[in-house]
Amino acid sequence: MTTPTFLTMYQQLIANPSVSALDSTLNMSNRPVIDLLASWCEALGFSVEITELEAAPGKFNLLAKRGIGHGGLMLAGHTDTVPFDDSRWNFDPFQLKQHDNRLYGLGSIDMKGFFAFVLDAIKVLDEQAVTQTQPLLLLATADEETTMAGAQQIAKHADLKPARCIIGEPTDMTPVYTHKGHMSSAIRVTGRSGHSSDPERGVNAIEIMHTVIANLLQLKEQLKNKYSIEDFVIPYPTLNLGHIHGGDNANRICGCCELHIDLRPLPGLSIKELQMLLLDAVSPINRQFPNSVEVIDLHEPIPAFSSNTDNALVKLAEQVSKSKAVAVNYCTEAPFIQQLGCETIIMGPGSIEQAHQPDEFLAIEKVAPAQHMIQQIIQNSCFNNVD
């Protein structure tokens, strides 16, 4: 068996839905994508290990390896996509569409397409008859868009020790050496409902939430003023009030109100420290109204990621891309992959501006340069040089 052409791989990856969502009615298995990648990897001489996630039955990681021993380069990405609103798409999300010099499709840049780039680069190097000198690995994970359970599980792998790892999230092939973390929390206020004609007989959760929000806005300013890393476009940790719901009728005292917030910690600001700051913000309210305010993680918090800009992988990526490594505000699987002890960066085709958007696309003029850069990095890390 031989691997398909670059565009055929791209088409087949897009054609197999693999949405991950906390809503069980939208959530899908990624097994069809994993099986496709496994067949192509085996055709290129890789040994393949497929593992079901302990935290998410029906979801799978793939680890493919060619070469013996530790070290070498691992190319990593996630196989899942976000849910989509079909009414906002002008194209079929699951059919790769070439139009106006763009490749449209769900996952075209975030980030199924990366696997087509990697496998095509390996095939080209094999055709040039260069000798592989270091282990070459491909990692495909599940549930990055929700819990990052796939990356968290692979971080515990007993015998996985690559020297380098590139995570192919869409960065327009600019190397990323650091990013913020991500916490999503629910602030739940429980009051006591009753008839609105007698307010003193109840405890209004919306009124308590008003105080909670005031304290959170103070915390927002505290984070902005106390913590800063100038490498980031937004140099401070952010706190966003994203969703709120409370009460059920105008003539009832609200018995429950819930607010969902998003926090993005900088490197150096630990998840534990940020959680304590959040608890400190609501603790005076709980003293006034005992046990009225709960803080609940909506998912496992994701720590910030940072690597050394002087390491060999960053320098190679900068040389190949002709771009200085940058810091970004979004987060990836990098902090978990880094636990394997490897030099880690994020670098992949496509723009982050297209991620999670209707009519997600990759500009066709970016394909050839990205192919060349990925091939150069793989060649430098794992193959004899080509004249």
- The residues annotated with a catalytic role in the active site are 80, 144
Does residue 222 sit in helix, strand or coil? helix
Is there a contact between 252 and 195 (Cβ–Cβ < 8 Å)? yes
Tokens of 138: 């491909």
CA atoms 169, 173, 175, 180: torsion sign: negative
Question: What is the total residue count of the chain?
Answer: 387
Q: In the block, which residue shows the tokens 């490749």?
A: 103
Peptide linkage before 9 cis (omega within 30 of 0): no
Which candidate, 94, 96, 102, 136, places its Cα nearest to that of 119? 136
Decide: 382 and 69 in contact? Cβ < 8 Å: no
Question: In angstroms, how far is CA 231 from the centroid of its own chain?
Answer: 20
With CA atoms as reference, report the closest residue to 368 among 215, 173, 180. Answer: 173
